[in-house]
Structure 1
């Protein structure tokens, strides 16, 4: 079995709410994962990021690539900037102050996720199985709460399909049109974690390029989440959507079973019965008695024990 390579990126795009130190603290939480991690960033951040991996003696499983953002797709970056300049991306949007409505560089950075992965593949620093994981995943301890537990190897579980890009959704389905979603800004597919093999990532990159050009032709730009949905609707054969009930809980799909049962997370922010429901839906091959036990557990936490407790 191929070990999963994690690819991520950090670029300071001038966000006022979160600076370098905050993002470094976010990365610090999961920097102990034992997978090979490839990180794209700028020269000034290289050593600071590497230091986080050195604390876990994982510098040998870390590749940091310094590459400027405009080196990936300058033509599209210029088109995005021009669209923001000529057309108001906040108009009629549900959350007009969100960064994707006001920052062309942010939208471009979100668009580049498959570009980072494909660049790493072309450099020969990625394995056959590749995960994109946002640099700020988990936002410190927003869901998982003990960074000392993040010292294991992420591995794909049984519901992951290798030759497709695997996305994770926080709703059962999305029936609205793309324009309606652009305005209501309601999220369907989680944008912080994707998984696939090498070929699927190159297909994904091509689809993202097509999607961006389509959006730009209508004089609109958005972050990656709506573009992920566009990909699944136009190329459904290339994507696998897995239902999750917590944003950062999507990582459970890669945590080994023996660790999954012990890892700490915030039940007080989670309707725990939904996580059990997710496990039931994804447990196709479990024995009858084990499934019955899971159903009883689901009923117990949904209807009987409704206390908000921290595991």
Structure 2
């Protein structure tokens, strides 16, 4: 049996100012503190300003020696061409009008770029030689401070697995596999895969990053962007032999795979704020007007009118 190495990351991209589901850095650190007592090797990628705070939180639980924090001053310099193109697409009115919720968080370039980098962080940790045979990505804000697991003290355990227990990248799905075209999933924001937790055999981490990066580049070529959940879906379709998909519920996979005695409550997804709902109504009206205009043009052409 060996301990799973957990990889996570946190960079402040001003999410407290997002129109949809805003969260401050302080909220993220509250969420991290809730689960940071887990007794596994932990690798964190962050900016210089947060390094000591992360180490202090882990040291509070006597886990400083099991924690490595890698500072990246400019995460947008990791894949600058991809980020530049994502920024262009995020400002494109064709892309915004295409989506049912044009102001969704996954349409913000900074956010979806960092979500793409989840597999880069894991691959980088493997290349540094700081992971065990099995790595797992867990979001820095995992569990949202008690949404699914209400008792912080229950995270005082070590997640272990058998050597070579995981031969493939394990993704978790909250619904049946979605076989609709990718553009339709992007339009409706109807992902079925979850990104909060992914299990990655260390020897396959670079493969995952390669296929995730190619998936984002493919999406960008047709003028779209989305976050890691959609990118994992595209990667799954491109390399199905690399993945195993397991059904679960939001945040539940940790309990399913670790065997820990975690008390689980019914996860509560955050309600969609009123503003995006109004946006959806405006989008519908715009599309209706566009269709009516096209219909009138067609009739005029048929009747020979100018």
- Of the three residues 104, 109, 114, the one matched with 1:104 is 109
In terms of mean alpha carbon deviation, does 116-125 or 31-40 score higher?
Answer: 116-125
Q: Which has the larger radius of gyration?
A: 2
- 2:257 alignment partner in structure 1: 254
- 1:77 alignment partner in structure 2: 83
- 2:136 alignment partner in structure 1: 131
Partner SS state of residue 248, structure 1: coil
* TM-score of the pair, normalised by structure 1: 0.80
Structure with the greater relative contact order (CA < 8 A, sep ≥ 6): 1 or 2? Answer: 2
Q: How far did residue 70 of structure 1 move?
A: 2.4
CA contact (8 A) 2:4 2:132 kept: yes
Partner SS state of residue 95, structure 2: coil
Q: CA RMSD in A?
A: 1.9
**Within the alignment, does 1:15 sit opposite 2:42 as a pair?**
no
Moved over 3 A (4+): 85-89, 267-270
* Distance in 2 between residues matched to 1:238 and 1:179, nearest whole Å: 23
- 1:276 alignment partner in structure 2: none
1:119/1:269 CA distance change after superposition, 3 Å:
closer
Q: How far did residue 95 of structure 1 move?
A: 2.5
Q: How far did residue 254 of structure 1 move?
A: 2.6
**Within the alignment, does 1:147 sit opposite 2:152 as a pair?**
yes
**Within the alignment, does 1:25 sit opposite 2:30 as a pair?**
yes
1:242/1:156 CA distance change after superposition, 3 Å:
farther
CA deviation string 1:17-55 (max 9, x = no partner): 111110000001110000000000001111111111111
- 2:188 alignment partner in structure 1: 184
CA deviation string 1:242-280 (max 9, x = no partner): 011x20111122322xx33xx22224859xxxxxxxxxx
Q: Which runs of 5+ in 2 are unaligned?
A: 17-21, 270-306
* Distance in 1 between residues matched to 2:8 and 2:245, nearest whole Å: 21
Q: How far did residue 93 of structure 1 move?
A: 1.7
Aligned residues between the structures: 263
- 1:217 alignment partner in structure 2: 221
Q: How far did residue 155 of structure 1 move?
A: 2.8
1:78/1:92 CA distance change after superposition, 3 Å:
closer
CA contact (8 A) 1:161 1:240 kept: no
CA contact (8 A) 2:7 2:135 kept: yes
* TM-score of the pair, normalised by structure 2: 0.81
CA contact (8 A) 2:191 2:229 kept: yes
